[in-house]
Amino acid sequence: MHPSPVESAESAEPTAPSDPGSRRLLLVVDAPSLLHRNHHARAHTRIKDRAGRPVWALHGMLRQILESIDQFAPDAVIFGLDDRTGSERRDFYPDYKAGRAEKDAELVEQLERAGALLDALGLATLTPPGLEADDVNASGATWAERHDWNCVIITSDRDAFAHISDHTQVLRLINGGINGSPLLNPARLHAMYGVPAANYLEYAALRGDASDNLPGVTGIGEKAAAALLLTAGSMDAVWADVDHDEGRSLVAALDALAAETGGRRTGAGVVRRLAAPGARERYDFNVRMMSGRDDLDLGLTPDVPGTPGLLPLDIDRVSRVVGFLGVEATTSLAVRVLTGDPASRSAAR
């Protein structure tokens, strides 16, 4: 089983604490997530490149990338891509993501061209064999903490919430684009779900994820999952009480919380569901499936000027590659944001 992000963070070599405002910033972009959202939002535009191929999803993704770089001014950027030729998770669980609608052929074509477009610009991409952009997100967050950087993950996938920490925030893309999307830190995540960021993976494993075809523990919904983690502190403590004391401490704690908040006493029912055959196995299975690989080599060498992932980029290269998409305003924005060209900045004013 892959180590959880929490476990990996604990096993990493400690770094001296620093002022978060003085840290450098890594931007990790979940490229497939942006492409899917932009395909559905922009298909009506029917934008095509100079070769007549559909590019509305690629163009929308690039616009959001440029807006993000302009907003956050990162020191390094890496784009995670899914391996479209194989999946370790699907090999282990053939029904992984089953039930999702079949992808539109025009979206598939743009997904397959995304890496080439980003590489042509001189940006850093990573397509981990058998893995997904989710794993690049996890590894980016771990890389940032180990190197005492800050990190912002840009995605619409809730799985990335497991990586939120004092070093990592998640810009969760929703309707409204970059400027209308929430930037989630530990406090905001806690306000949304009632669990600390370090417990989010446990919370998600209990609840399940219908979009990935991962059922949760039967009878344990979001409220019960949050209450369990609030009262016990961790699922290790929950399972220990279920295994060694028939859940008596849990029942008492859950019922005390219900009395305090004016809710219904459900402790005995929750413990009964946790002790049911298959409950622990379902939880452990979900943890395995949901855990991102946090040990990938990102190939980032931020102290070596001119290496992929660092800005600025070559102005002629940016002008040529983005210009091929055929949207003049986007080309101008790309030149300003990616190359730091003084003339383009003056023109933008």
Residue 125's CB: how many other CB atoms inside 10 A? 22
Confidence of residue 17 (pLDDT cuts 50, 70, 90): low
Nearest to 106 by CA among 59, 33, 39, 45: 39
Nearest to 194 by CA among 247, 151, 257, 284: 257
Confidence of residue 341 (pLDDT cuts 50, 70, 90): low
Q: Which two tokens stand for residue 62?
A: 């690039």
Q: Which residues of 55-70 are buried (b: 16+ CB within 10 A; e: fewer)?
A: bbbbbbbbbbbbebbe
Q: Which residues contact 16 (CB under 8 A, 6 or more apart)?
A: 148
pLDDT digits (tens, 9 = 90+) for 166-208: 999 999 998 878 988 999 999 999 999 999 999 999 999 999 9
pLDDT digits (tens, 9 = 90+) for 62-88: 999 999 999 999 999 999 999 999 999
Tell me the pTM: 0.90
pLDDT, residue 177, reads 84
Q: How far apart are CA 32 and CA 51, in angstroms?
A: 23
Nearest to 27 by CA among 248, 224, 309, 238: 309
- pLDDT of residue 5 exceeding 60: no
CB 316 within 8 A of CB 341: no
- pLDDT of residue 31 exceeding 50: yes
Mind giving me the DSSP string for 259-313? HHHT----HHHHHHHHTSTTHHHHHHHHHHHHPPP--------TTSTT-TTBSPP
Q: How far apart are CA 43 and CA 28, in angstroms?
A: 25
Domains plus CATH for the chain? 5-192+293-311 (3.40.50.1010), 201-290 (1.10.150)
Residue tagged 């299975």 (tokens): 285
Nearest to 2 by CA among 112, 92, 121: 92
Which percentage of the chain shows pLDDT scores above 90?
A: 86
- CA distances, 121 to each of 75, 141, 165, 324 (Å): 17, 24, 31, 12
- 183-184/168-172 β-pairing: antiparallel
Q: Which residues pair with 209 in a beta bridge?
A: 214
